[in-house]
Amino acid sequence: MHFIEIIREYIFLAKDFFLSILSILTPFDFLIFLICFIVFVCLYMIGCLLARVRFFIPQFFKLLAFLVFFATPVGMYYVSQEFFYKTQVNYRMNKSLEYAPAYFVDADVKNIGKREIGKCVYVLNAIRNPIYPKNKILNFFSSLHTYRYEFDTSLKAGQTQNFKTTFNDFDYKHYESKVFCFGKKD
């Protein structure tokens, strides 16, 4: 019974992860993914059609196809965060409160990208003490606890919006925070 509950929990987490990913993709992103998938299929088909040719040529096209397939999500993430939906965050207050087990953030998010932003997510990760090398590796793969605050917005290029939130039951000494912004749904 215990094993089934663990499997059920992981299925729920995977479903939640995929739904959160699909909720931030815009039609523009789907179009880019579709184009890259068509390029992948074309390159792979060329590799299959050239199977009777010399050894190196079909394997080269298949390798190129898989590079396109696996590089597409990484490239899309990089281009969206560094070009299309780039932001500048100015924190007025971003710290753990002294007399209460809570965390307060007050920040301005400015759109310095090229496209309109429709949704932003503030992520606060409670981490292990980063002084120890073992903890740095563990923090890279998994934080102790993750707090998220999502807010819908309509930020055109050059505009700024303020957000404030409080996370209760926060009594961690080490943490890191980041703001991610995504495109507007058309």
Residue 81 per-residue DSSP state: I
Contact 24, 76 (CB under 8 A): no
Indicate yes or no: pTM above 0.75. Answer: no
Contact 85, 182 (CB under 8 A): yes
Domain segments of the chain: what residues?
Answer: 2-84, 87-183
> What are the pLDDT digits (tens) for 103-157?
999 999 999 988 888 888 898 888 888 888 888 888 888 888 888 898 888 888 8
Contact 182, 134 (CB under 8 A): no
Contact 120, 150 (CB under 8 A): yes
Q: Determine the pLDDT at residue 23.
A: 67
Q: How many CB atoms lie within 10 A of CB 132?
A: 11
Above pLDDT 90, what percent of the chain? 19
Specify the pairing of strand 102-111 against strand 87-96: antiparallel
Contact 44, 70 (CB under 8 A): no
> What are the pLDDT digits (tens) for 45-64?
988 888 887 778 888 888 99
Structure tokens at 161: 């919006």
Enumerate residues 6+ apart whose C-beta is below 8 A from 45. Answer: none
Homologous superfamily in CATH for domain 87-183: Lipoprotein YajI-like (2.60.40.1620)
26 or 159, higher pLDDT: 159
